[in-house]
Amino acid sequence: MKRYFQPVEKNGSAKKPTPSPSKKNDENGEILVEEDTKKEPLKFLTWNANSFLLRIKNDFPDFTKFVSEFDPDVISIQEVRMPAAGSKGATKNPAELKDDTSSSREEKQIIMRALSSPPFNNYRVWWSLSDSKYAGTALIVKKCFQPKSVFFNLDKKASKHETDGRVILAEFETFRVLNTYAPNNGWKEEENSFIRRRKWDKRILEFVSHHEEIDVSHPEFFSTAKQNNYVPPNKEDCGQPGFTLSERKRFANILKEYVSSTSEIDGGKLMDAYRFLYKEKDMEQGFSWSGNPIGKYRGKRMRIDYFIVSEKLKDRILACEMHGKGIELQGFYGSDHCPVTLVLSEASSINSGES
């Protein structure tokens, strides 16, 4: 749900952004992309696809058009919902899509065919997948902006993947991008979902964000929401997962912390890029998740997809937008989450001595 940025080093003030690669048509009508002169990724897109396979099957032409127009350098996908490679009972490979059965081979072909077509053929993809069609993340990066290193866990161990494929960490020249899919807080403590989420928040200490009433369309509805009339013993765990008082308190405390991702690099305070630019509630286009347009959740929306950046990068934030609109899920491309984008200006300088 969240994309986190931490600078490696930043000196001086920010420059204006270098333009994205220009596009033109050749004599056959094909789109040609001219060489990109940017030194690092500046345009980012994050999207909880709620099954990447289903989106490709049903909604991909519209999403492809959106990607072509925005022209992101990095695309972060959550809820891929594709199983990791490996037969039943065997050790799984979370970095590869399952293809050991006829159905899994067909599904993999559908996905890889989509990613080998324009504009995605200009990108490279990394996967971190669950053992089943659950959770999972993908990081899709333009081939001209390949990261210096990629990890699939918070411990930065070479071959380890987080449970359910919830983390992809890419290190670029002047910052790191952490693509995460946070566990759902759930409704009941006896299902261990509350404990799981607390453990996750503790581990992700230097990267989580703040979630306030301004970030939901109907605060009273979400704070009192129940599942099957169940009321948790701890009142702070009551309400819609993603908006419980317990979660919001942890977010608030963490955002205020001075954090460091490694012993030698000071990350500084963290910022919510969207809220940095927009201080007021936007009932039309200020939310990233929407309930079903039919039933009691109609019109009930939350902003639970974020770009969280180090405070050191705040002068480079040019735009952060939510691309869903209204209560009919326009711009959601079949998911219950809409894409969110971030645009940074180019760093003023890069210290070549920094590792």
Cβ 104 vs Cβ 119: under 8 Å: no
In this structure, what token pair is assigned to residue 33?
């992309």
- Is the dihedral angle over the CA atoms 233, 238, 242, 243 positive or is it negative? negative
Could you give the angle at the alpha carbon of 164 between the alpha carbons of 158 and 166, nearest 5°? 65
Q: Is 336 annotated as a binding residue?
A: yes
Q: Please tell me whether 337 is known to bind a ligand.
A: yes
Annotated binding residue at 79? yes
Please answer whether residues 184 and 127 qualify as being in contact, where contact means their C-beta atoms are separated by less than 8 angstroms: no
- Go through the chain and tell me how many residues it has: 355
Beta-carbon contacts of 271 under 8 Å, excluding residues fewer than 6 positions away, are 255, 308, 309, 310, 311, 313, 314
Q: Under a CB-based contact definition with an 8 Å cutoff, are residues 209 and 192 in contact?
A: no
The Cα–Cα gap between 178 and 78 comes to 12
Q: Which of 60, 101, 92, 99 is nearest to 77 (CA)?
A: 60
CB 337 within 8 A of CB 329: no
> From the annotation, which residues make up the binding site?
48, 79, 336-337
> From the annotation, which residues make up the binding site for Mg(2+)?
48, 79, 336-337
